Amino acid sequence: MKNTVREPQQERSIEKKNKIIKAGYELFTEVGYYGTNTVEIAKRAGVSTGIVYGYFADKRDILICVLKIYIENVSAPLFDIIRSKHGNVVLSDLAHEILDKTIELHEQYAKLHNTLHSLAATDEAVNAEFIKLENSITMQMSEQLSALGVTVENMTEKVHLAMNLVQSFAHEYVFDSHSYINYSKMKETVCDILVSLFN
Amino acid sequence: MKNTVREPQQERSIEKKNKIIKAGYELFTEVGYYGTNTVEIAKRAGVSTGIVYGYFADKRDILICVLKIYIENVSAPLFDIIRSKHGNVVLSDLAHEILDKTIELHEQYAKLHNTLHSLAATDEAVNAEFIKLENSITMQMSEQLSALGVTVENMTEKVHLAMNLVQSFAHEYVFDSHSYINYSKMKETVCDILVSLFN
Amino acid sequence: MKNTVREPQQERSIEKKNKIIKAGYELFTEVGYYGTNTVEIAKRAGVSTGIVYGYFADKRDILICVLKIYIENVSAPLFDIIRSKHGNVVLSDLAHEILDKTIELHEQYAKLHNTLHSLAATDEAVNAEFIKLENSITMQMSEQLSALGVTVENMTEKVHLAMNLVQSFAHEYVFDSHSYINYSKMKETVCDILVSLFN
Amino acid sequence: MKNTVREPQQERSIEKKNKIIKAGYELFTEVGYYGTNTVEIAKRAGVSTGIVYGYFADKRDILICVLKIYIENVSAPLFDIIRSKHGNVVLSDLAHEILDKTIELHEQYAKLHNTLHSLAATDEAVNAEFIKLENSITMQMSEQLSALGVTVENMTEKVHLAMNLVQSFAHEYVFDSHSYINYSKMKETVCDILVSLFN
DNA sequence: AATGAATGAGCCTTCATTCAT
DNA sequence: TATGAATGAAGGCTCATTCAT
């Protein structure tokens, strides 16, 4: 006889559900998952506390939705770049393009990324979602590179490493944590590694 | 002028403090910081709730201690490797050695690492500790490579990237998250990148 | 931006808030502020622990509310007496009237008075409230006496002393602490002093 | 098999007990009874936590001792004044002398007085001690006045009221709470009342 | 569907008192 | 006697979730 979560059909409802996700998204970004409470989410969303549980099973369920949207938001632009390439590609241009876009995305999502990623440690579903994200980026990237005539041994391994490197770098770049690092020099080094990986 | 934290001098006390840290360490590893409560830490340590606050200012203080020990534990073995090199080093051997040790450390500490790292997002002291760790590893590594006759442009940037790459790889390797990845091939690729960076 | 206290508008809510104040009032009277805990207040009020913090910021906030109500309750009847006098007043009648009312109020509120007054020593807000109370009684009394044609030097000083005397006496009278005292004789003496002060 | 409280015989012990009482006395004055904890008392007294319970049954027992000393300290000087009078006394001089001494005592003990007095509301023993104090002052004062040839009706009642008035005034005087009051004028008025009471 | 007041288990922390040494 | 580390019950407060309306 447990509360079942409504799957909103009407536009009004979908809108409301989205408002809650947006509020959760903002608050998780600002103060983290454990620093956010459901009353605050409802308030920010402009809905009542109770109705939150009409759309979501529990607080964690909101998190999962936020996570999915986050993943969509960060992966789509990268997929766009990958898919946009036809004919001859200059690898170094592609590397730069991906690097720049990743930095841009990081600037926007870094704090939320940290919050979400941290929960992967204790929440299997969150972890799975991140792995799926990496999977799909790696696979699409690998295929597209092949289609573009790039042929190297151990393609997926290299693509995966490449994406890891790009991610690490973007993180460093955005947070600018280490005073002794010249980040533009570092960026060039990253590009060089990327190019050399696929030549 | 409220209750101050005892700085234990006697062995018995130090032992007890360590038991609490160990309990915290284990529980933070198993169920995360927010999944752990102080009563549980005390129980696991075999002490009373009250005495925990004789050794630590608050729950977060335990976390900070666990963090420091974690950092000591993961950095010391790497520093040992770095310092042990003299005369001619074969870069690829060094790369392998570091890679292997990092994997080994990750196998031991990965879950705790995730938990701790996640708190960096909301706790400045935790964040600072991680940055300091990266700093010291990068600096020591850079100096030692120079001392060993390795001369490349943008040394610190390259060392930093190299360590990032090693970390990312070790994480992947330990969790073995992606079925399509051949991790031994990947490992060789990482080594190749490392070697090419410093040649 | 943490949980804010509801300002109850609906009757039901106001009623509930009042129940909590009443419970606090009773318990503070019976066992003092430090002898009362919030769970007990909630239980006595017939509400849950949590909702107490929906209406009050913290335990002390309940105390402040109880204090304000107490002050209203003890000052209003005195103000009524003061304001009711017109034309010629026989000072000794006024003295008796005030004395009798103060005794009556003391019979009702003495224990609470003690509890509240004791907190003035460590709580500035509580202290301020008591001083304000004395101020307003003294001022209104002084003005009214002047309006009634009573003219003496150092009016406010005398009124203040008079009120102190009345208070002390009422306290003694109600607690009947000293077996060797004949309280009705004492009462007459108080009246005589009061009359002589303003003649 | 409960801990019995030692009655210290040796000088060293008596000294230690006094140190604890002094520490309690100071801390109760500074931060009140509920703001003081036993560890702090022991620390301030320069003894161990445990030994406190060798000399006192519990925390309240320390309070009772502090109370007794307080009472001795505030009553002795008044008794000295009372006893010092022989032959013809000018009432107004006596009034002034008592008033001045009471103010002086208040300046020294007012905070502790508040703290102790507040506990009378919830602790019968404390209350009894205060009543006993008032008793003895009233009785001695009455007798001495009689011996000095002062003969009025309802002596004890008048003495009691007089002492109340003196107390109230000293409290006001020391805390100087009301800006509109001219305390030196008030003092004269108090003297006048006292003199008129016993003429 | 929606509201938001209400619930109550659970958390962190304190502190009077005890006890092994 | 003396120590001070240790105990553990209790307190104030929070918050995910429920429920009467």
pLDDT tens for D164-176 read 999 999 999 998 8
What mean pLDDT is predicted for residues A23-32? 96
Q: Which of chain A's residues 106-145 bind strand F, using a 7 Å CB cutoff?
A: none
Mean pLDDT of chain C: 93
Residues in A touching B32 (Cβ below 8 Å): 121-122
| CB contact (8 A) between residue A35 and residue B139 | no
H or E element: which one contains C166? helix C155-175
- Sequence-distant (≥ 6) Cβ neighbours of residue D61 within 8 angstroms: D5
What mean pLDDT is predicted for residues D121-140? 93
Residues in A touching B115 (Cβ below 8 Å): 118, 121-122
What mean pLDDT is predicted for residues B138-144? 94
Contact between D105 and D17 under an 8 Å Cβ cutoff? The reply is no
Predicted local distance difference test score (pLDDT) of residue D50: 97
What mean pLDDT is predicted for residues A132-143? 94
CA distance B5 to D165: 49
Distance from CA of D9 to the nearest CA of C (A): 36
Provide, in whole angstroms, the distance separating residue B63's CA from nucleotide E18's C1'. 30
CB of D37 within 8 Å of any CB in chain C?
no
CA distance D182 to C156: 9
Contact between A158 and A197 under an 8 Å Cβ cutoff? The reply is yes
pLDDT band at D118 (very low <50, low <70, confident <90, very high): confident
Q: Is residue D55 part of a domain?
A: no
pLDDT at A84 over 60: yes
Predicted local distance difference test score (pLDDT) of residue C12: 79
What mean pLDDT is predicted for residues A174-199? 93
| CB contact (8 A) between residue C122 and residue D169 | no
Predicted local distance difference test score (pLDDT) of residue C9: 66
CATH number of the domain residue B155 falls in: 1.10.357.10
| The residue to which tokens 């560890």 are assigned | D39
pLDDT at D103 over 70: yes
Q: Is residue D83 part of a domain?
A: yes
The percent of chain A in helix, strand and coil, each rounded to the nearest 5, is 75, 0, 25
pLDDT at B1 over 70: no
pTM of the model: 0.92
Residues in B touching A172 (Cβ below 8 Å): 160, 164
pLDDT at B2 over 80: no
Predicted local distance difference test score (pLDDT) of residue B199: 86
| The residue to which tokens 């005073």 are assigned | A179
Which tens digit of pLDDT belongs to each residue from A95-130? 999 999 999 999 999 999 989 988 998 899 999 999
CA distance C130 to C71: 8
Predicted local distance difference test score (pLDDT) of residue C17: 96
User: Of D7, B132, A105, A40, which is closest to residue A97 (Cα–Cα)?
Assistant: A105
Which tens digit of pLDDT belongs to each residue from C163-193? 999 999 999 999 888 999 999 999 999 999 9
CA distance D155 to D149: 12
What mean pLDDT is predicted for residues A45-51? 97
Residue B38, CA distances (Å) to A107, B25, C89 in order: 36, 12, 70
Q: Is residue C9 part of a domain?
A: no
For residue C144, the enclosing domain spans 64-198
Identity at A170, one-letter amino acid code: A
Kindly give the interhelix angle for C38-45 and C59-84, rounded to the nearest 10 degrees.
60
Provide, in whole angstroms, the distance separating residue D28's CA from nucleotide F1's C1'. 27
Q: Is residue A182 part of a domain?
A: yes
Q: Is residue C11 part of a domain?
A: no
Residue D110, CA distances (Å) to B145, D23, D74, D156 in order: 73, 17, 10, 25
Predicted local distance difference test score (pLDDT) of residue C34: 96
Provide, in whole angstroms, the distance separating residue D196's CA from nucleotide E5's C1'. 63
Predicted local distance difference test score (pLDDT) of residue C126: 95
Predicted local distance difference test score (pLDDT) of residue C176: 83
CA distance B170 to D131: 78
Q: Is residue A30 part of a domain?
A: no
Contact between A180 and A72 under an 8 Å Cβ cutoff? The reply is no
Q: What is the 3-state secondary structure (H, E, C) of B80-131?
A: HHHHHCCCCCCHHHHHHHHHHHHHHHHHHHHHHHHHHHHHCCCCHHHHHHHH
The count of domains in chain D is 1
Nucleotide with smallest C1' distance to residue B6 CA: F5
Predicted local distance difference test score (pLDDT) of residue C177: 84
Least confident of A94-98, B97-101, C87-91, D125-129: C87-91
CA distance B109 to B157: 26
Predicted local distance difference test score (pLDDT) of residue C86: 84
pLDDT band at A4 (very low <50, low <70, confident <90, very high): low
pLDDT band at C1 (very low <50, low <70, confident <90, very high): very low
Helices (H) and strands (E) in chain A, counts: 8, 0
Q: Which of B129, B138, B161, B175 should one mutate to test binding to chain A, selecting the residue with the greatest count of A CBs within 10 A?
A: B161
* Number of Cβ atoms within 10 Å of the Cβ of C43: 14
What mean pLDDT is predicted for residues B32-55? 97
Predicted local distance difference test score (pLDDT) of residue C199: 86
What mean pLDDT is predicted for residues B174-184? 91
The reply to whether A92 has its C-beta less than 7 Å from any atom of strand F is: no
Mean pLDDT of chain A: 92
From C122, C157, C190, residue closest to D35, measured CB to CB? C122
pLDDT at A148 over 60: yes
| The residue to which tokens 């009706």 are assigned | D153
User: Of A43, A24, A178, which is closest to residue A115 (Cα–Cα)?
Assistant: A24
pLDDT over 90 percentage in chain D: 82
pLDDT at D1 over 60: no
Contact between C165 and C190 under an 8 Å Cβ cutoff? The reply is yes
Half-sphere exposure of B39 (CA within 13 A, CB side): 0
Half-sphere exposure of C76 (CA within 13 A, CB side): 6
pLDDT band at B48 (very low <50, low <70, confident <90, very high): very high
Least confident of A33-47, A159-173, B23-37, B76-90: B76-90
Q: Where are the alpha helices (DSSP H) in A3-123?
A: 11-31, 38-45, 49-55, 59-84, 91-119
Task: Give me the phi and psi of A188, to 5 degrees please.
Answer: -65, -40
Q: Where are the alpha helices (DSSP H) in A88-123?
A: 91-119
Residues in D touching C35 (Cβ below 8 Å): 122
- Give exposure, B127-143, as e/b (b: 16+ Cβ within 10 Å): bebbeebbbebbebbbe
Identity at B33, one-letter amino acid code: Y
pLDDT over 70 percentage in chain D: 96
Which tens digit of pLDDT belongs to each residue from D42-83? 999 999 999 999 999 999 999 999 999 999 999 999 999 998
Q: What are the structure tokens assigned to B195, written together? A: 């070697």
Farthest-apart Cα atoms in chain A, separation: 61
User: Of C43, C44, C13, which is closest to residue C26 (Cα–Cα)?
Assistant: C44
Q: What are the structure tokens assigned to B88, written together? A: 């001619």
Residue D189, CA distances (Å) to A107, B175, C151, D186 in order: 76, 88, 15, 5
Compare D149 and D87 and report the one with higher pLDDT: D149
- Sequence-distant (≥ 6) Cβ neighbours of residue D100 within 8 angstroms: none
Cα D63 versus chain centre, distance: 14
Q: Is residue B28 part of a domain?
A: no
pLDDT band at A86 (very low <50, low <70, confident <90, very high): confident
| CB contact (8 A) between residue C134 and residue D158 | no
Provide, in whole angstroms, the distance separating residue C190's CA from nucleotide F10's C1'. 48
CB of C140 within 8 Å of any CB in chain D?
no
Q: Where are the alpha helices (DSSP H) in B148-179?
A: 155-175
Distance from CA of C109 to the nearest CA of D (A): 12
Predicted local distance difference test score (pLDDT) of residue C3: 54
Q: Is residue C125 part of a domain?
A: yes
CA distance A94 to A88: 11
pLDDT at B3 over 80: no
